[in-house]
Structure 1
Amino acid sequence: MSAVTVVGHRGDPYRVRENTLASIRSAYGRGADAVEIDVRLTRDGVPVLLHDDTLKRLWGVDRPLAHLTLAEVRELTGAEGVPTLQDALLAAGERRVMIDLPGATGESVRTIVGTVHDCGARDRVYYCSSGAAMLLVRAADPGAEIALTWTTLAPPRPALLDAVAPRWLNYRFGLVSRALTDRVHQDGLLVSAWTADTRRTMRRLIASGVDAITTNRVDTLSDVLKGTRT
């Protein structure tokens, strides 16, 4: 059986607050091959890790990130709070990082891609999001590795595939079947599935031939994969 890439969803969020350096380190420590993070810009244009557009859910502060400078974010979330993308890439070391781009704009994508390049991380970073966001990534970096997030069983239009040139198609786990993975593989692409948290779902995805699974339970997926290899 071919190897399946284990991707920690926002780090290791069932143990440590998502999209923090501690969560990233925990995910790698429990067996993740890659960690998925969400990146947005502060008001002063610094890429930081946050899925939502406000600090309310994670940090109890009902303030939009786009209205806050990095200094204000640090004041509101503390020294171990919202990290910058640069900090996250340093914490990842030489390991793989998958960057999701909620709220992507041309400006934000250019800044994020530029930060990845400045950190010397281009060869270990790949990007996931909608077609519109991935077109922005492709414009910013013609050589970027892309996982095009797709939410329907209908295949992407050939024109979109040609423009985005993804390496992966990234599906919600409920859509994935052996027939789908076979079709995508025949087209020369890899299949990534998100976000699988039960052993039953993980085993089904592995049996379906996926190449990567994003999960909130990295240690559980690692254990399941060890069982399939014995």
Structure 2
Amino acid sequence: MTGGRAIAVAHRGDPYRARENTLPSFRSAIDADADAVELDVRATADGVPVVLHDPTLRRLWGHDRPVAELTAAEVASLTGGGVPTLAEALGVTEPVRTLVDLPERSAATARATVAAVRAAGAADRVYYCGDPAALRAVREADAAAEIALTWHRATRPPEVLLAEVRPSWLNFRFGLITEDTVARAAEQGYRVAAWTVDTRRSMRRLLALGVGSITTNRVAVLRRLLGGP
């Protein structure tokens, strides 16, 4: 994906400047020179991939309604068009890479997401992270997909999972990453990605360890630490 310098990934866009996982948030992240924009995808009742982290609209939009029980038209109506479809989001994030996070264990959502990425002509600029079961489905749907295997433990992912998913990246919560984590990953041909990193101190520590990607809510801060675009 990139050589040498670590890449700056904007977590759900630029959420301190615009509401997370919205088109204005993605535009703000791109304006801040993000290398990639991370966004979350869930599927509506009619199978449309939309961009939202939570299973319901409650936290961000004030409606305690599960996305999976609403059609795409109903989601748009309840949020005033604020929740974009994946297709709409990919249209905005076209200048940079897009990291699609699949937070739920749903093969159907993963397959619909891969299909939407293909339909948008965006397969060459999209890569995937999220629930391991969803990532298995991504790999089954797209043999060439770039995958960052999200892992929540200090232990290495099981060999069988690595063989099934064939990731390019191991995507760890930042507090789990040590010098040994990066070294062992490199020995096996993987790069290490860290999430979600918002303090300069943690950013500097991870950069010194040789982490290849940092996902942050403060992409402008990370960009300044990394230097120019």
Q: Please report the TM-score for the alignment, with normalisation by the length of structure 1.
A: 0.95
State yes or no: 1:175 paired with 2:164: no
Q: Residue 88 of structure 2 aligns with which residue?
A: 87
Q: Residue 134 of structure 1 aligns with which residue?
A: 135
Matches of 2:180 and 2:107 in 1, distance apart? 36
Equivalence map 1:1-230=2 (5 Å): 2-79=4-81, 81-226=82-227
Give unpaired runs (5+ residues) of structure 1. Answer: none
Alpha-carbon offset, residue 94 of structure 1: 3.9
Matches of 2:118 and 2:105 in 1, distance apart? 18
* Contact 2:39 2:100 survives alignment (8 Å): yes
Matches of 2:76 and 2:153 in 1, distance apart? 39
Q: SS at 2:4's partner residue? A: coil
The residue type paired with residue 173 of structure 1 is F
Q: SS at 2:127's partner residue? A: strand
Alpha-carbon offset, residue 50 of structure 1: 0.5
Matches of 1:104 and 1:29 in 2, distance apart? 33
Q: SS at 1:197's partner residue? A: coil
Matches of 1:134 and 1:115 in 2, distance apart? 16
Matches of 1:131 and 1:68 in 2, distance apart? 25
Give unpaired runs (5+ residues) of structure 2. Answer: none
Alpha-carbon offset, residue 104 of structure 1: 3.5
State the Cα deviation string for residues 8-43 of structure 1 (Å, max 9, x = none). 000001110000000011011102100110001111
Alpha-carbon offset, residue 107 of structure 1: 1.4
State the Cα deviation string for residues 24-82 of structure 1 (Å, max 9, x = none). 11011102100110001111111100000000000011111111111111111113x00
Alpha-carbon offset, residue 224 of structure 1: 1.3
Matches of 1:175 and 1:64 in 2, distance apart? 32
Matches of 1:125 and 1:104 in 2, distance apart? 20
Alpha-carbon offset, residue 131 of structure 1: 2.1
Q: SS at 1:48's partner residue? A: strand
The residue type paired with residue 12 of structure 1 is D
Q: Please report the TM-score for the alignment, with normalisation by the length of structure 2.
A: 0.96
Q: Tell me how large the CA RMSD over aligned residues is.
A: 1.3
* Contact 1:94 1:124 survives alignment (8 Å): no
Paired residues in the alignment total 226
Alpha-carbon offset, residue 89 of structure 1: 0.5
Q: SS at 1:185's partner residue? A: helix
Matches of 1:130 and 1:51 in 2, distance apart? 12
* Contact 2:131 2:150 survives alignment (8 Å): yes
Q: SS at 2:54's partner residue? A: coil
* Contact 2:104 2:131 survives alignment (8 Å): no
Identity of aligned residues (%): 55
Matches of 2:168 and 2:63 in 1, distance apart? 38
Runs of 4+ in 1 over 3 A off after TM superposition: none
Q: SS at 1:136's partner residue? A: helix
The residue type paired with residue 47 of structure 1 is P
Q: SS at 2:128's partner residue? A: strand
